[in-house]
Structure formats: C-alpha cells, structure tokens
Chain A
Amino acid sequence: MTGADPILSVKNLSIRFRTGDGMVYAVNDVSFDMHAGQRLAIVGESGSGKSQIALSILGLLARNAEVEGAALWKGRDLLAMPAAEINKIRAREIAMIFQDPMSALNPYMTIERQLSEVVELHEGMSRSQGRARALEVMDAVKIPDARARLRAYPHEFSGGMRQRIVIAMALMCRPALILADEPTTALDVTVQAQIMELLAEVQQAMGTAIVLITHDLGVVAGFCEDTLVLYGGRVMETAPTRALFRAPGHPYTRGLLRAVPNINDPSATLAAIPGSPPNQTHPPRACPFAPRCEDAVTACFETLPMLEPHAGTASRRACLRPVEALT
C-alpha cells in the first residue's frame, strides 16, 4: 500500500436502524482507508452490511438510519455534510453502481437524458455537450450502436447492457472513487465475466479507485488488491487479496474460501458455512461468528476480538484464536 494520504478514510463507522422491533445494528465499528486508484473488495454474506456502508458514504441511507463515526473525503466528513455539499460530491467525485440494473434506471426517461443530466448538473454542460459525453462513455463501456440507442428507454436493453449503462452513468464525471455494489450479482454468469472485465478495463484507463462489494470471493480474486471481510456488520479480516487467499487468518474467511467454486476441479463439493446469520438486534459483545465457528472456544462467546495485525504482515484479523490453531 502506498504511503500517500488516503482519499477516503472510513473511521469507526457504525450504522443502526430504528425499526418496529427495536434497533438493528447493521454495521459496527468499521474502519478502512482507500487510496487513489486502489481496488478494495468488501466481501460478506448477504445481510452483512456491505450495501449500507456504501450508501452511508454517499449519504443515501434510509430515513430510519442512525450513523456514527466518520467518512473523511479529502479531509471532510461525508457523514456530517449538509445535503447541498454532498450533492456536489455525488457522481462528480464519488459515484455508485447499484446491484440491480433492472431497477436502477428510470423506466420513464431516455438513456441519453439519464446520462447527460449528470454532466449538465456537475459540469454545466449543454444538452448537446452532454449528449457528446454520453456517446463517448457509452462507447467506452462498449454499448454497440450507441448513437442510435441514445433515445431508447431502459426496457429496450438486456440486463448486461443495462448494467453497462449504469456503469457509463457512474463514469460520466470521471469520479475519483466508484462504489460498485454487487455489480454482477443480478446477471448471467457469462455476462458477469464481461462486466468484471469491463470494470477492470475502465478502472485501468481512468485510474479510478473502486470499492467492489460482493458476496462472492471468486469475483474478487483477479480484481482487487485488497479485501475486507465483513460478518454481522463487523470487519473479520482485512488483507492483501493474495495473502488472504494464500493464508486466510480468520475462520470465517476460510469458510468463505471453501465456498468458492474451484475452477480446476468443478466436481469438488462446495462447503457452505453451516448455521444462520447473526442476530443483529444488539451491538455485538462477543465475536459474532462464534456460534457458527468450528474453532470457537468459550472465550469467543464472551469477548469481542479487536482487529489486530498478525504475523508481521499487512493483514489484520479479529480472532482470539492463534492462526496455527485454526482448522
């Protein structure tokens, strides 16, 4: 990792939701840094709080959310920013790619309008300048016959093409950071690979930093240099992706890795982690993974492990058990 200042520094982020049945503690004490051009993966099962982290950074949380901590963007806290201020950062400096391209686009507006309005707003472009930029970006994400399809509506495109449009939308202002929330989850397997390839390509070309959110460690392998593993809204482990795959330091990470299909041996059975996701109606007081952990000892149910560097590597993990003792 570079020694330069991070562009985004998330510090002790906690997010909870007021609901009819009391509080839901969705994200607990999460910290991480993003450097210019960095690719970071946030990995975790569905419900582990990945999307809420991304949404909180752009101030898009639901109304019943309460946030604590800070998300420093160029030294300013995004979480405490008034609407008018954060509106200048949205899409222009930090853009978001949403999970489901079927519903992320407005069905009542042309593609052109949905793309061009971003630069008309942030860069004061005219309609025709906006159209030119839209064409440029649609070419960059390889939408065939872009000029003819400017006036089309979302329902006229396939899922993969719609996700390309959503990506194009995120690229309109050439942001410094893109938050990609499960950009391929809703798509066919073959299309998934194409979209990941495309993301890698535009990331390279534009030097944009990307937070890639996914529940699939397999997607992460070739793409992100760093990975953060989330469970029950807490960081279990964060490490350079390569180190994480070679020597996972947390029982949960090990379980996730066993759940990744092996390309070399497709017949190998997938080991899903037994048990169900944690109850999040209380802030965690012990390791949230303990009830599902094969290696848990009594202490794991009583103390909350802190995220600590292990074995002098760049990796950090939150586990009471020594790495050598893990199965």
Chain B
Amino acid sequence: MLNYTLRRLLAVVPTLLLLIVVSFYLMRLAPGGPFTSERPLPPAVMQNVLERYGMDEPLHVQLWTYIKNIVCCFDFGPSFSQKDRSVNDVIAQGFPVTLTYGFWSAVFVLVCGVPLGIIAALRHNSFWDYTMTGLAIFSQIFPNFVLAPIMVLLFTLSWGLLPGGGWNGGQWQYVIMPAVALGTSYMAGVARLTRGSMLEVLNAPYIRTARAKGLPERTIILRHALKPALLPTLTYMGPVFVYMITGSVFIDIFFSTGGIGQDFIDGAYARDYSILLGLAVLYAMLTFVLTLLLDLLYAWIDPKVRSQL
C-alpha cells in the first residue's frame, strides 16, 4: 500500500512537468500580453518592465527559470498584474477560502446526498422515493448561477437570516450559502447515484444470504450493503470535488468570497501569465492528490482492489 502510494506520487512529477511546459507555451502563443493596453507604453518604459519580469529573455530560458524556482523553492514567481505580490501570496490568500467552502460543500453533498439516496432506495417506489427522485432531478438541472440568486433573495433580502456575500474570516454564516449553492446539484447527483447502486446491491445474492441469517434490516443495510453501495458514489466524488473547487469561479464572483476563482478570472483578464500558470499547477496537484486519496479509500473498501495494489 505504501509502495503503491509512493509510486503514484512519483508518477505525478512527469505529468506536472508536461502540464507546465504545454500551458506555458500555449499562454505565450495567445495574442496580447500582461502589458498590452489601448495606449501602448513608450518603448523605453516597456523595455524596463519586460526586464523587471525577465520577459526580455528567450522563452525557453524563461521556462527554465520558472521550473527551477518551483522545484528549488516552491516559488511560482511574481504576479504580473498585482504590484508587489507573488503568486504564492495570491494563492496563500485565496486558496484557504476556496478550500474551506469547497470542503463544507463536499460534506454537505455527502451528508445529505448519501442518506437521501439510501432512504429513497429503502422506500423504493413509494411516495418518498418519488418525491426524492423528483427533487433530485429538479436540483440537478438547477445550476448554481440560478440557485445562488434565489438563495440570496430568500435568505438575505426576504428573511435577513444570512449575509448575502463576503467572507469575514470564514465565519459559518458566510460559508453556508456558497457551500450549499456550489454543492446542491452534486448533492442531487449523489442521491440519485446512491439510490441506484443501493437498489442494485439490495438485489445481490449475498444480501439474500444476509437475510437468510436472520439479521435485522438495519444491520443488513449498514454492515452488508452500505460499503458496496458507496463505491460508485466515491468514483463520482473524485472529479466532482476537484470540479467544485475549480468551478468555484461563479461563487467567488457572486458572493465576493475572495477565493482563487476570483484570482483566476482577474488573472485571465489581465493576461497574468504567472497567476494562471500557478493556479493551473495548483489545480493539477489537487486533482492528483484527491484521486490518489479516493483510490486508497476505494482499495480500503474493496478487498479485491486492495489485493492488487
């Protein structure tokens, strides 16, 4: 298991390098740059600026410096658009915010989605099942940019229960709406997925064996059916969690939470190469770590997978 983890982590290195090289050249190929504007800067000033950011050198030299700084000091360089701030500063400020509401959003997705799915499966074809499935489909087609304004309309403007935006150090009142708005459609997805796989597992012959033992229904669900029923949900949650964090752009803008989604947008408008590249690398690493964690979790649940590691 440890061996496997190390091997997986090592495999990340070449992939990350490739990602950096490709994104680096792609971004430079695109027309425009951080210092292009309506009124061109005087050539002397431009030369000064380019020198300051090392952009006067050939591309491969810039790339080499960039990679060297990351490897030796985990330094993603200065931001091109935000004066006197490094990419590290920007990430250090925005990432904890994104991670916080992303984490609570994932908790919300699992803590609500899984039990809802299980209940619907157990009450198969009853009123509750249909209500649940209907709601799930309804909220799955509800994108967060529709849900968020509705929530603000209700909870902030009508009832005055929750602040309509801001972060305030991550106090819970400020976290709830971003987390729920971000997670609702995934929560519905998880509920539907869990319902389906639970129904399938409950039809498995080994569940009939468990029934033939005289075990009470609760034990059958929790001890015999839950683990296998959760496997598809786990597979689903990996990319979803990454997507919830990378896809938080809208949330950051709508709720002014100040996460990295905001930096991403600002960076894109300003052609801030270093911010964009830094965030891309961050997302990639996040994806690797999360999928690894999920694979380990998968192996922990499924002995067949475990014996193959």
Contact = CB atoms under 8 A, between A and B. Distances in A.
A121 B215 contact: yes
Interface in B49-95: none
B233 to A, nearest CB: 15
B214 A105 contact: no
Given A109-B224, A153-B304, A104 B214 contact: no
Nearest to B125: A63
Interface in B278-309: 301-304, 307
A96 interface: yes
Interface in B216-234: 216-217, 219, 223-224, 227-228
Interface in A205-244: none
Contact of A106 (B206, B219, B307): B206
A121 B228 contact: no
A106 B209 contact: yes
A127 interface: no
Given A60-B208, A100-B205, A117-B223, A107 B303 contact: yes
B213 A98 contact: no
A122 B214 contact: yes
B8 interface: no
Contacts of A88: 214
A302 B8 CA distance: 73
Contacts of A117: 213, 215, 223
12 contacts: A58-B212, A60-B208, A86-B214, A90-B211, A98-B209, A104-B208, A106-B210, A107-B303, A108-B302, A108-B303, A117-B215, A166-B209
Nearest to A89: B214
A156 B214 contact: no
Contacts of A108: 227-228, 301-303
Interface in B11-52: none
A66 B227 CA distance: 32
A98 B205 contact: yes
Contacts of A60: 208, 211-212
What are the 6 A-B residue pairs with the smallest beta carbon separation, nearest first? A90-B214, A153-B303, A103-B205, A87-B214, A106-B206, A91-B213
B209 A87 contact: no
Nearest to B306: A153
A287 interface: no
B204 interface: yes
A132 to B, nearest CB: 19
Interface in A81-126: 83, 86-92, 95-96, 98, 100, 103-109, 117-118, 121-122
Interface string A130-163: 0000000000000000000000010110000000
Interface string B119-131: 0000000000000
A71 B219 CA distance: 27
B308 to A, nearest CB: 11
Contacts of A92: 214
B301 A91 contact: no
A106 B222 CA distance: 13
A87 B228 contact: no
Residue with the highest number of chain A CB atoms closer than 10 Å, among B209, B210, B301: B209
B256 to A, nearest CB: 45
Contacts of B228: 107-108
B206 A105 contact: yes
Given A103-B204, A107-B304, A108-B303, A121 B214 contact: yes
